[in-house]
């Protein structure tokens, strides 16, 4: 069943009004008709509804609420992926797949070895495009939230945020001893708790040693992911999957 997101203000008197780009998607892409069923999620409350389309125009799609659905698609683990900005369309792939795996936020990070430097003139458009990719992925996989794509940040700002997390994990190819497994074992007894976890991942060229040391000094846990060096677009998938399996809703 197709899923769409609305704000609470669009729900009134057992009716839901869908506006914006979703109208074109319902009408011209999915080619849905009156009496077809859809699922709608209130972004403000994460409450889900099954609905029937009662009216379709060029501006709005009106739906009648049939019932409220109890959804359990969100994990007790809140993950923010601090991703060193990669080149090409790798960031779009990272966003899409991480949303499917259950992350709550992605924060693009400018690091010393980033090949791509996001120009201030196009930064807003980049974030808007990445946010749209997050929304589409959230609809596709049945999320109850649309994970937020934060503004581009830097290592210094991350250092100021580390204390707000239960743990911040920094994947570093030169670390040989401390593993992701050993760090997650420390959190096992907090399994029922809503854990707040940060993941820091370097761009294609990795993270500079000076950046690693600064993050470590401010409380980040530096880990190895094994004997093989993974591509930057692979690391987020691997770490998120393992964390969700060990601590979240997959274990």
Mean pLDDT calculated for residue range 192-209? 90
- Beta-carbon contacts of 57 under 8 Å, excluding residues fewer than 6 positions away, are 23
Contact between 68 and 48 under an 8 Å Cβ cutoff? The reply is yes
Contact between 197 and 79 under an 8 Å Cβ cutoff? The reply is yes
Give backbone dihedrals phi and psi of 84, rounded to 5 degrees, phi first: -60, 130
Q: What is the CATH number of the domain that holds 26?
A: 2.40.240.20
Contact between 216 and 222 under an 8 Å Cβ cutoff? The reply is yes
Among the three residues 42, 69, 96, which one is the final residue of a domain in this structure? Answer: 69
Same domain, 128 and 51: no
21-29, long-range: CB < 8 A, 24+ apart:
22/61, 23/56, 23/57, 23/58, 23/59, 23/60, 23/61, 26/2, 26/53, 26/56, 26/61, 27/56, 27/58, 27/61
Same domain, 139 and 20: no
Same domain, 16 and 123: no
Same domain, 60 and 168: no
Same domain, 56 and 94: no
> Can you tell me which residue has the tokens 């979703």?
22
Q: What are 26-82's pLDDT values in tens digits?
A: 999 999 999 999 999 999 898 999 999 999 999 999 999 999 988 778 888 999 999
Reading the block at residue 15, the tokens are 């009716």
pLDDT of residue 122: 86
Q: What are 224-244's pLDDT values in tens digits?
A: 998 888 899 999 999 999 999
- Beta-carbon contacts of 180 under 8 Å, excluding residues fewer than 6 positions away, are 169, 171, 223, 224, 225, 239, 242
Question: Distance (Å, rounded) from C-alpha 101 to C-alpha 75?
Answer: 10
Same domain, 226 and 109: yes
Question: Distance (Å, rounded) from C-alpha 6 to C-alpha 118?
Answer: 31
Contact between 94 and 45 under an 8 Å Cβ cutoff? The reply is no
Residue 211 banded pLDDT, cuts 50, 70, 90? very high
**Whether the predicted pLDDT of 198 surpasses 50:** yes
pLDDT of residue 191: 59
Same domain, 119 and 167: yes
Same domain, 29 and 134: no
The number of folded domains in the chain is 2
Q: What are 87-135's pLDDT values in tens digits?
A: 878 999 999 999 999 999 999 999 998 888 888 888 899 999 999 999 9
**Whether the predicted pLDDT of 251 surpasses 70:** no
Write the Ramachandran bin of 183: left for phi over 0, alpha for psi from -120 to 50, otherwise beta: alpha
Question: Distance (Å, rounded) from C-alpha 177 to C-alpha 217?
Answer: 18
Residue 193 banded pLDDT, cuts 50, 70, 90? confident
Mean pLDDT calculated for residue range 135-140? 94
Same domain, 40 and 87: no
Q: What is the CATH number of the domain that holds 239?
A: 3.40.1280.10
Same domain, 94 and 50: no
Contact between 100 and 75 under an 8 Å Cβ cutoff? The reply is no
pLDDT of residue 121: 81
Domain span including residue 33 = 3-69
pLDDT of residue 118: 83
pLDDT of residue 183: 93
pTM: 0.88
Same domain, 52 and 93: no
Same domain, 224 and 164: yes
Distance of CA 150 to the CA centre of its chain: 10
Contact between 18 and 60 under an 8 Å Cβ cutoff? The reply is yes
**Whether the predicted pLDDT of 247 surpasses 70:** yes
């Amino acid at each position: 069943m197709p899923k769409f997101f609305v704000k609470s203000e669009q729900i009134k008197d057992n009716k839901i009004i869908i506006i914006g780009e979703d109208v074109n998607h319902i009408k011209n892409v999915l080619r849905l008709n009156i009496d077809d069923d859809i699922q709608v999620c209130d972004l403000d409350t994460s409450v889900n509804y099954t609905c029937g389309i009662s009216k379709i125009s060029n501006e709005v799609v009106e739906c009648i609420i049939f019932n409220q659905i109890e959804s359990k698609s969100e994990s007790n683990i809140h993950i923010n992926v601090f991703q060193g900005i990669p080149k090409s369309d790798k960031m779009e792939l990272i966003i899409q797949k991480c949303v499917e795996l259950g992350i709550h936020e992605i924060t693009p990070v400018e690091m010393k070895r980033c090949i791509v430097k996001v120009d201030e003139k196009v930064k807003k458009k980049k974030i808007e495009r990445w946010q749209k990719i997050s929304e589409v992925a959230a609809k596709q996989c049945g999320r109850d939230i649309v994970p937020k794509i934060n503004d581009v940040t830097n290592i210094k700002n991350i250092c100021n945020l580390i204390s707000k997390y239960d743990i911040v994990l920094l994947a570093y190819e030169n670390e040989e001893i401390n593993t992701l497994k050993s760090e997650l074992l420390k959190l096992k007894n907090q399994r029922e708790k809503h854990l707040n976890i940060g993941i820091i991942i370097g761009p294609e060229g990795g993270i500079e040693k000076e950046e690693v040391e600064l993050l470590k000094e401010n409380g980040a846990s530096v880990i190895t992911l094994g004997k093989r060096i993974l591509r930057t677009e692979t690391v987020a998938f691997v770490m998120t999957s393992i964390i969700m399996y060990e601590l979240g809703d997959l274990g």
